[in-house]
Structure 1
């Protein structure tokens, strides 16, 4: 098991040397950096994601499992295990950083029951972009509703 973040500070961006982090059960370290979530494994950064790339993060205490879902649906969720304690400060920190990238979020329920969520997100450089996500099957009517919702949000912030 790693002796903590101190051994890897030189791998992190300036300003992240004292960032909140957790040690994972497999010896890796997950860092909640200023601009990104950073995975350090075996002495090197093996993965990272800017906060605007994170859709959500969820801690399941019974399983000691953290799941991170991405804005890009093609990217597999990050699922890690940690008996690190306490998790609350780490999870609050992640939540705050992800929420800071969300400018607008609206959800609607399609007639077929699918829940469609449109978001306007902000990159660290201030650039805005839209994201669509759905829970459930999107038939033609639901797809039309999704595109309409996204268009409304984009227009409301001047992206159209």
Structure 2
């Protein structure tokens, strides 16, 4: 896989980590917007620079039918970032590297159903500095009887990943 460094405009390189040397770009001409997959995080440039470390990103998806790239977050209540019409020549390299970087932040994930029927995702994630933390996402309302089960599930996941319970 090539990092396709030559596609990053010279005026953006000073704004990027290490001058953009490890950034894989993706351009959205309709919006004059750039996304960069960098080992340290996902970077958005559209007039201003916004950066998310990989542990702050849940998933990056591509919908070929609508020509839309989506970035979803661990908080299911936070609307996904939806970007249309990326430069198709840059899409594969960006997707390949973004997937690698994102997967490095996801140590372990377990899906479960609580006594009330609410589904949850419990994950152990890694930050760029190597520290690890657990992340609990509920896909619905929690009932009072769910809290004990959820605490037990999180402790099990943390233990499996070598974190204190």
TM-score range, shorter chain: 0.7 to 0.9
Give the TM-score of the pair, scaled to structure 2: 0.81
The equivalent position to 2:118 in structure 1, one of 98, 102, 114, is 114
Q: Which residue of 1 aligns with 2:3?
A: none
- Consecutive aligned runs of 4 or more in structure 1 exceeding 4 Å deviation: 72-75
Report the CA distance shift for 1:80/1:143 in structure 2 as closer, same or farther (over 3 A): farther
Aligned length: 155
In structure 2, C-alpha distance between the alignment counterparts of 1:15 and 1:141, rounded to whole Å: 51
Do 1:23 and 1:30's aligned partners in 2 also have CA atoms closer than 8 Å? yes
Note the alpha carbon deviations across 1:109-131, whole angstroms, 9 max, x for none: 23444321101111111111110
1:34 is the counterpart of 2:39: yes
In structure 2, C-alpha distance between the alignment counterparts of 1:63 and 1:98, rounded to whole Å: 23
Gaps spanning 5+ residues in structure 2: where? 1-6
Root mean square deviation of aligned Cα: 2.1
Report the CA distance shift for 1:146/1:35 in structure 2 as closer, same or farther (over 3 A): same
Compare the two structures and name the one with the higher helix fraction. 2
Which secondary structure state, in structure 1, belongs to the residue aligned with residue 42 of structure 2? strand
Do 1:20 and 1:33's aligned partners in 2 also have CA atoms closer than 8 Å? yes
1:79 is the counterpart of 2:92: no
Q: Which residue of 2 aligns with 1:61?
A: 64
Do 2:33 and 2:44's aligned partners in 1 also have CA atoms closer than 8 Å? yes
Do 2:109 and 2:123's aligned partners in 1 also have CA atoms closer than 8 Å? yes
Q: Considering Cα pairs closer than 8 Å and 6+ residues apart, tell me whether 1 or 2 has the greater RCO.
A: 2
Do 1:106 and 1:119's aligned partners in 2 also have CA atoms closer than 8 Å? yes
Which secondary structure state, in structure 2, belongs to the residue aligned with residue 107 of structure 1? strand
Report the CA distance shift for 1:144/1:67 in structure 2 as closer, same or farther (over 3 A): farther
Q: Which residue of 2 aligns with 1:145?
A: 149
Give the TM-score of the pair, scaled to structure 1: 0.84
Which secondary structure state, in structure 1, belongs to the residue aligned with residue 138 of structure 2? strand
